[in-house]
A and B are shown apart, each in its own frame.
Chain A
Amino acid sequence: MKARIAVPVFPGTNSEDETVRLLRDCGGDAELVHWTSAPALATYDAYVLSGGFAYEDRIRAGAIAAHDRIMDYVIEGAEYGKLVFGICNGAQILLEAGLVPGTGPIRRATAAFAKNAPEPHFVCRHVYLKLEIEPARCAITAALPPGALVPAWAAHSEGRLAASPEELERIVSDGHLAFAYAHADGRVDDAAVPNGSALRCAGLINRTGNVLAIMPHPERDGWNFNHLDRPSGDDVLAPSGGAALFRSFIEALS
């Protein structure tokens, strides 16, 4: 039987529709589950937490949502080994819930996606995610080639990885740094980073590699018509670009 993917919707989530659409276009069986139907989440095989401003980013992005009933099911699922994939606000929630990097207790964050720096405001910018781990280290990235470059859009005001020096050290040494910001040619440098993120980090995984949190949105550069460098002749409606990561996620489920 095909794995069923839930895309939970918190009050304030705003990227749920395109996330479901791209999951489906990549062959996934995905549907929305609203916060008032949270108990239904128990019956799904995987979770994709999409972008937005859950609970208005009060206190810190993701801080309130991490304590929502929805996360009871997601945390339980993650501990059971279900795949959990958070994008942007979804990633912020996973950090606040302590699922990634997962080096501390549940719901006691050891790292956060904090206010951008040096300018503490929202930034919308096209970026590339460069895979920094062995693809198989994380189930969700397993079908990507080593060093894969995934096009995406950064669109957030709180995306700067912040943690204690020891925790940052651990993130690197224990292989939690899944994605770094890169240029189109694959170079990773400070100019490629839109938000001052520590370690130039764009995405983190947990120890067991079943939970992935990325700040940029691959689903916003997920179809041919989204690409500013679209080669003519391609089917404009076909998934591509950022869809590679979604495909890899779907493959891990089958």
Chain B
Amino acid sequence: MVNELGPNVALRDDELQRIAEQLGRQPTAVELHAFDAQWSEHCSYKSSRHHLAHLPATSARVVLGPGEDAGAIHLGTHAGERYAVVVAHESHNHPSQVVPFEGAATGIGGIVRDVLCMGAEVIAVADPLRFGRNAHARHVAQGAVDGIGAYGNAIGVPNLAGDVYFNEGFDDNCLVNVVALGIVKESDLIHSFAPKGAEGWSIVLVGKATDASGFGGASFSSATLDAQESELNKGAVQVPDPFLKNVLMRASYRVFAMLRERKITAAFKDLGAGGIMGCSAEITAHGGYGAEINLDAVNVAVDGMPPAVIAVGETQERLLWILPPDVAFDVVRIYNDEFSLPEVAYNARAAVIGRVTPERRYVLRYRGSVAMDVDIEFLTGRIRDELPYSEVIRHAGAAPELPAVDVETLFPQILAHHDVASREPLYRRYDAVVRGCTVLPRGAADAGVLAPIPGSRLAVALAVAGNPRYGRIDSAYAAEHAVVEAMRRVVAVGARPIGLTDCLNFGNPRKPDQYGSFVAAVEGLAHAATELDLPFVSGNVSLYNESADGHAVPASAIVACIGSVEDVAQVVMPGLKEAGSALLWVGSRELVLGGSVLAEILNVDGALPKISFAAERAAIGIVHDANARGVLRSCRVVSDGGMLTALARLAFDAMLRGRAIGAEIDFGNPLCEAGGFICEVSDASQIDITGALRIGQTVAGSQLIVNGVQFDIPGLFEVWSQPLAELYP
């Protein structure tokens, strides 16, 4: 059947049959590619959407939940205006594995458009990264990091947060997740569906000339069904153009201002998977309309491209507006004349390419004939695959028996471990401070912080989490832990957690065990978020992260947490502040080894640290309270490398700021990664000590004294700084 219809596509036979039955005829070549894209997992979430519905998505602060290109959450009020943070989270895993620089760069490019098209000013990006440990993985890591930097730096958006893990499980499939934040007055939010009364309005395509990039994958593949499916989801790599994007963003900000002045409600949407067809169909269908597009009006890079390529190809740096015709004229003028897009990149421009129709059809015309004419609901409607999955066996773990550890030998090994050593050699390639709003730049603390509204004391914090060492052991646990850890990181800088996003990076949904791991992770996220009363406002699913020999990547539910700070003066600044402070361990501090760096070094198993949500809520309260009373001097989350690593990093941060402050502590096993916070407080009597344990105090000088063992802080800093600097000079 596939061959009779022309080129091979990734649609299954039953799907092709449905299409032919509904149309009452065989689909045209363009229609075939359109359904192929629109019904792919990437666009339709056909095997994941019904599970994702379990994630909590509401709270008093949610301005816009999942469903559009990005979510939005209330940050605060300034000068009588309500402001929202817009957030989107995506993966660009497969392209980054194949072509690391371009793959990762277009990841940033895409996520930035998702935020921009909500009418927001883009204020930050973040990049949770997972790389393998073989020689090729190093090449992938280097290329991906350079690509992220090249794109983000050029468009002038600071890289505020992110993390990097190295694990053999990513040797064949790296994970490049990207998060973008925007800021917008809530009244100025632009939606990605045609508004009321939009019949007859203009459809305006803006950006790069459409070319054949990003059209390949399934449509040109003549491989087996399995390989086709894999290719479909791996997608084809597009070509990044951050220079054009820089101008496109600034021109769009100008358009936003014009629309506000004229009080026009428009719709704006990013072109992603499915290209012009996918974007124009969804933006009109979700408003209750149809669309008629003239492919001859599309600005193309080369003549003679097949209509299917123009319609469905995924050329980067393009967006689509729905505007009243007279306004469309002015918008086109801003892009093409005021910002001279055609001079910035070859044949880049804004152009009216179609109109919104009351009939609920999706029609594409090309050179005088109809290339596509289908029911728009049928094209964009929600299709669903109920795939079988197996229950995941939860990790029981060994008895929480601790081997006697030699801190003196092991702690330097932990600091030099690939999951603990300083990430600075990588993130220093990112601009962390462009826009001049940065309060805590990338790497300065557990979360990045910005003061995004000029003249306002409001600040926003951002952190990411998702530990693959836990993912390898227990998918659901790793997902819960990712929520908790991302939240802790935001709390540690003095912010109040207000919302979450997620990207679920898993294996092949057609393999019940790999799909089961995904389903368990969704339940884990849902459970943790519900317990902590935090909504998921946007998210993304990346499946088929599977190596050629059939192994899925470590279960990777990666979570970003957004925090709000009422007054930027309340942000907890990095590093130990004064000798003579009390050091408290607030929150969970179970002495178990499961999934820890120490367990990896000792090659032992162990129970995973239990997550008590009651204890988490209490710990957040203690940290907030200490900060509000002005007794909290510094704070860090106990994470990879354990409590002693957290303490050492507080000492490093002090040293980097010219303060020689050490610590003297006494604690059973300071290398466990149970979680919680290390807090430096000026007066422990001010703290509700029931949830906190005093482990020692800060001292003058450059010594870290742990259970009587003395470490030299600058020496430890060297040990921690070197490993990645040598790998990534």
State the A residues within 8 Å of B (CB). Answer: 9, 11-15, 17-18, 21-22, 34-36, 51-53, 55-56, 118-119, 121-125, 153, 155, 184-185, 217, 219-223, 225-226, 228-230, 232, 236-237
- Say whether B340 contacts A124, CB under 8 Å: no
Known contacts A225-B568, A228-B444, A236-B457, A123 near B434 by CB under 8 Å: no
**Interface membership of chain B positions 430-455, coded 1 if the CB is closer than 8 angstroms to chain A and 0 otherwise:** 11111111111100100000010011
Known contacts A155-B434, A220-B434, A226-B436, A14 near B156 by CB under 8 Å: yes
- Say whether A229 contacts B438, CB under 8 Å: no
- Say whether B436 contacts A53, CB under 8 Å: no
User: Which residue of B is nearest A18, CB measured?
Assistant: B436
Task: List 14 A-B pairs, Cβ < 8 Å.
Answer: A11-B243, A11-B340, A12-B243, A15-B436, A35-B340, A52-B156, A121-B149, A122-B431, A123-B429, A124-B432, A185-B658, A225-B569, A226-B438, A237-B568
Assembly CA distance A12 to B339 (angstroms) = 11
- Say whether A184 contacts B436, CB under 8 Å: no
Q: Which residues of B contact A122 (CB under 8 A)?
A: 149-150, 153, 429-431
Check: B359 CB closer than 8 A to any chain A CB.
no
Assembly CA distance A185 to B657 (angstroms) = 11
- In-complex Cβ contact of A184 among B149, B250, B658, B729 (8 A): B658
Q: Which residues of A contact B429 (CB under 8 A)?
A: 121-124
Q: Which residues of A contact B441 (CB under 8 A)?
A: 124
Q: Which residues of B contact A230 (CB under 8 A)?
A: 573
Taking CB atoms and an 8 Å cut-off, the chain B residues in 133-191 that contact chain A are 146, 149-150, 153-156
Q: Which residues of B contact A13 (CB under 8 A)?
A: 246
Assembly CA distance A226 to B449 (angstroms) = 10
Q: How far is the CB of B198 from chain A (nearest CB, A)?
A: 31
- In-complex Cβ contact of B434 among A15, A35, A226, A229 (8 A): A15
- Say whether A228 contacts B657, CB under 8 Å: yes
- Say whether A53 contacts B243, CB under 8 Å: yes
Check: B288 CB closer than 8 A to any chain A CB.
no
Q: Which residues of B contact A52 (CB under 8 A)?
A: 154, 156, 246
Assembly CA distance A228 to B433 (angstroms) = 12
Check: B247 CB closer than 8 A to any chain A CB.
yes
User: Which residue of B is nearest A22, CB measured?
Assistant: B436
- Say whether A14 contacts B246, CB under 8 Å: yes
Q: Which residues of B contact A219 (CB under 8 A)?
A: 436
User: Which residue of A is nearest B159, CB measured?
Assistant: A124
Assembly CA distance A122 to B454 (angstroms) = 27
User: Which residue of A is nearest B456, CB measured?
Assistant: A237
- In-complex Cβ contact of B246 among A11, A220, A225 (8 A): A11
Check: B259 CB closer than 8 A to any chain A CB.
no
Q: Which residues of A contact B391 (CB under 8 A)?
A: none
Check: B574 CB closer than 8 A to any chain A CB.
yes
Additional 13 contacts, C-beta under 8 A, given A51-B434, A56-B154, A122-B430? A11-B243, A11-B344, A12-B154, A12-B246, A13-B246, A21-B436, A53-B242, A122-B431, A184-B658, A225-B568, A228-B444, A236-B451, A237-B457
Q: Which residues of A contact B454 (CB under 8 A)?
A: 21
- Say whether B340 contacts A36, CB under 8 Å: yes
Q: Which residues of B contact A12 (CB under 8 A)?
A: 154, 243, 246-247
Assembly CA distance A18 to B569 (angstroms) = 20
Q: Which residues of A contact B573 (CB under 8 A)?
A: 228-230
Assembly CA distance A222 to B438 (angstroms) = 10
- Say whether B156 contacts A124, CB under 8 Å: no
List 10 tightest A-B contacts by C-beta distance, closest first.
A14-B156, A18-B436, A56-B243, A220-B433, A236-B569, A153-B433, A53-B154, A225-B568, A155-B431, A122-B429
Check: B408 CB closer than 8 A to any chain A CB.
no
Assembly CA distance A217 to B459 (angstroms) = 22
Q: How far is the CB of A60 from chain B (nearest CB, A)?
A: 15
User: Which residue of A is nearest B567, CB measured?
Assistant: A236
Q: How far is the CB of A43 from chain B (nearest CB, A)?
A: 19
**Interface membership of chain B positions 688-729, coded 1 if the CB is closer than 8 angstroms to chain A and 0 otherwise:** 000000000000000000000000000000000000000001
- Say whether B451 contacts A36, CB under 8 Å: no
Assembly CA distance A155 to B438 (angstroms) = 14
Assembly CA distance A223 to B444 (angstroms) = 18
Q: Which residues of B contact A228 (CB under 8 A)?
A: 440, 444, 573-574, 657
Check: B385 CB closer than 8 A to any chain A CB.
no
**Interface membership of chain B positions 543-574, coded 1 if the CB is closer than 8 angstroms to chain A and 0 otherwise:** 00000000000000000000000011100011
Assembly CA distance A5 to B434 (angstroms) = 21
Check: B18 CB closer than 8 A to any chain A CB.
no
Q: How far is the CB of A33 from chain B (nearest CB, A)?
A: 12
Q: How far is the CB of B255 from chain A (nearest CB, A)?
A: 14
Q: How far is the CB of B67 from chain A (nearest CB, A)?
A: 31
Q: Which residues of B contact A11 (CB under 8 A)?
A: 243, 246-247, 340, 343-344
Q: Which residues of A contact B567 (CB under 8 A)?
A: 236
Assembly CA distance A223 to B453 (angstroms) = 13
Check: B337 CB closer than 8 A to any chain A CB.
yes
Q: Which residues of B contact A220 (CB under 8 A)?
A: 433-434, 436, 438
Assembly CA distance A225 to B658 (angstroms) = 19
Check: B666 CB closer than 8 A to any chain A CB.
no
Assembly CA distance A35 to B338 (angstroms) = 9
- Say whether B339 contacts A226, CB under 8 Å: no
Check: B428 CB closer than 8 A to any chain A CB.
yes
Assembly CA distance A225 to B458 (angstroms) = 11
Assembly CA distance A35 to B444 (angstroms) = 37
Taking CB atoms and an 8 Å cut-off, the chain B residues in 320-357 that contact chain A are 337-340, 343-344
- Say whether B437 contacts A18, CB under 8 Å: yes
Q: How far is the CB of B616 from chain A (nearest CB, A)?
A: 28
Q: How far is the CB of B664 from chain A (nearest CB, A)?
A: 25
Q: Which residues of A contact B340 (CB under 8 A)?
A: 11, 35-36
User: Which residue of A is nearest B658, CB measured?
Assistant: A184
Q: How far is the CB of B242 from chain A (nearest CB, A)?
A: 8
Q: Which residues of A contact B150 (CB under 8 A)?
A: 122
Assembly CA distance A17 to B441 (angstroms) = 19
Q: Which residues of A contact B146 (CB under 8 A)?
A: 121
Q: How far is the CB of B252 from chain A (nearest CB, A)?
A: 14
Assembly CA distance A123 to B569 (angstroms) = 28
Q: Which residues of B contact A119 (CB under 8 A)?
A: 729
Known contacts A35-B340, A155-B431, A222 near B436 by CB under 8 Å: yes
Assembly CA distance A49 to B573 (angstroms) = 32
Assembly CA distance A3 to B50 (angstroms) = 62
Taking CB atoms and an 8 Å cut-off, the chain B residues in 210-269 that contact chain A are 242-243, 246-247, 250
- Say whether A225 contacts B433, CB under 8 Å: no
Assembly CA distance A30 to B441 (angstroms) = 27
Q: Which residues of B contact A53 (CB under 8 A)?
A: 153-154, 242-243, 246
Assembly CA distance A228 to B432 (angstroms) = 13
- Say whether B337 contacts A123, CB under 8 Å: no
Q: Which residues of A contact B439 (CB under 8 A)?
A: 225-226
Q: Which residues of A contact B338 (CB under 8 A)?
A: 34, 36
User: Which residue of A is nearest B249, CB measured?
Assistant: A14
Assembly CA distance A106 to B149 (angstroms) = 33
Taking CB atoms and an 8 Å cut-off, the chain B residues in 644-661 that contact chain A are 657-658
- Say whether A14 contacts B434, CB under 8 Å: yes
Assembly CA distance A123 to B725 (angstroms) = 13
Assembly CA distance A119 to B432 (angstroms) = 19
Q: Which residues of B contact A155 (CB under 8 A)?
A: 153, 431-434
User: Which residue of A is nearest B150, CB measured?
Assistant: A122
- Say whether A225 contacts B451, CB under 8 Å: yes
User: Which residue of A is nearest B449, CB measured?
Assistant: A225
Taking CB atoms and an 8 Å cut-off, the chain B residues in 259-318 that contact chain A are none
Q: How far is the CB of B658 from chain A (nearest CB, A)?
A: 6
User: Which residue of A is nearest B454, CB measured?
Assistant: A21
- In-complex Cβ contact of B156 among A15, A55, A123 (8 A): A15
